[in-house]
């Protein structure tokens, strides 16, 4: 049976990488949805929010269909770059990214909306461009809400199960994260082996949620 340490390390790697990718996309989408008005804005918002309303296994199946070798896109990646994404640890990253994106985007939207618009007007009057305004005005003011959103995405990533098992599988030493490890040990009736992973999950969740709620209180 796969060692606890390797499962934890893999879970943290998937969690950190997916959270980093999610944060970049989530901030971009949040900025567009809060600051821009355009035709199709509702459809973009709906598309981003869709994974949170769908069963995770359906999200996983969509990724499996998109990146699988039987699909044109998946075959294109394999033939051109020699990349096979399905049933790899990066497939777990994609699954975590897709299911956590709506949560992080919403958190970022709330944080960005809380910034006084007059601050942006003043920054533009001082000659700051959009990037400088975001870096020097928006991020410092909204940092607590943004960090809280990142933590929320990290928590969701670590707890991801349904989409991951479909697109990445449950391969020991390769794609078996903490939730999948717990599932495997429950299935094999290894009650004594399951508790270390359960305790690690509880400890990580407690620490990250404590930081999350602390930051939320700071934004009030």
Q: 144-153 pLDDT, tens per residue?
A: 989 999 999 9
DSSP code, position 103: H
Question: How high is the pLDDT of residue 29?
Answer: 96
- Surface-to-core class of residue 66, CB atoms within 10 Å of its CB (0-12 exposed, 13-18 middle, 19+ buried): middle
How is the chain split into domains, by residue range? 4-219
Question: How high is the pLDDT of residue 162?
Answer: 95
pLDDT above 60 (res 48): yes
pLDDT above 60 (res 2): no
Alpha helices of 159-190 — where are they, by DSSP H?
Answer: 162-167, 178-187
CA 67, 49, 152, 176 torsion-angle sign = negative
Residue 97 to residues 19, 93, 121, 127, Cα–Cα distance (Å):
7, 6, 34, 36
How far apart (Å, rounded) are the C-alpha atoms in residues 12 and 151?
Answer: 13
| Rg of the Cα atoms in the chain | 20
The answer to whether 99 and 51 are in contact (CB under 8 A) is yes
The CATH number of 4-219, from 3.90.1280.10, 3.30.160.270, 1.10.3720.10, 3.90.1150.10, is 1.10.3720.10
The answer to whether 157 and 94 are in contact (CB under 8 A) is no
Give the residue among 25, 46, 45 at the shortest CA–CA distance from 37.
Answer: 45
Question: How high is the pLDDT of residue 131?
Answer: 84
pLDDT above 70 (res 155): yes
Question: How high is the pLDDT of residue 219?
Answer: 65
- Surface-to-core class of residue 57, CB atoms within 10 Å of its CB (0-12 exposed, 13-18 middle, 19+ buried): middle
The answer to whether 93 and 17 are in contact (CB under 8 A) is yes
Q: How many CB atoms lie within 10 A of CB 126?
A: 11
The answer to whether 171 and 87 are in contact (CB under 8 A) is yes
Residues 6+ apart with CB under 8 A from 70: none
pTM: 0.90
CA 164, 91, 158, 139 torsion-angle sign = negative
Query: Which two tokens mark 82?
Result: 């020699």
Query: Which two tokens mark 196?
Result: 């270390």
pLDDT grade for 215, boundaries at 50, 70 and 90: confident
Average pLDDT, the chain: 90
Query: Which two tokens mark 65?
Result: 């269909």
Question: How high is the pLDDT of residue 220?
Answer: 59
């Amino acid at each position: 049976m796969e060692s606890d340490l390797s499962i934890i390390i893999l879970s943290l790697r998937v969690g950190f990488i997916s959270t980093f990718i999610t944060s970049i996309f989530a901030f971009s989408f949040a900025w567009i949805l809060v600051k821009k008005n355009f035709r199709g804005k509702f459809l973009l918002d709906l598309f981003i929010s869709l994974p949170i309303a769908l069963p995770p296994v359906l999200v996983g199946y969509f990724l499996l269909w998109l990146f699988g070798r039987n699909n044109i896109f998946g075959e294109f990646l394999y033939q051109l770059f020699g990349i096979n994404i399905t049933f790899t640890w990066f497939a777990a990253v994609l699954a975590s990214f897709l299911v956590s994106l709506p949560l992080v985007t919403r958190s970022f939207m709330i944080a960005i909306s809380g910034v006084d618009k007059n601050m942006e007007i003043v920054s533009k009057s001082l000659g700051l461009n959009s990037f400088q305004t975001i870096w020097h005005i928006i991020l410092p003011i909204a940092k607590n809400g943004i960090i809280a959103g990142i933590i929320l995405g990290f928590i969701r990533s670590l707890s991801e199960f349904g989409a991951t098992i479909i697109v990445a599988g449950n391969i020991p030493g390769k794609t078996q994260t903490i939730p999948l490890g717990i599932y495997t040990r429950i299935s094999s009736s290894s009650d004594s082996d399951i508790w270390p992973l359960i305790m690690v999950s509880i400890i990580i969740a407690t620490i990250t949620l404590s930081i999350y709620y602390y930051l939320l209180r700071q934004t009030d």
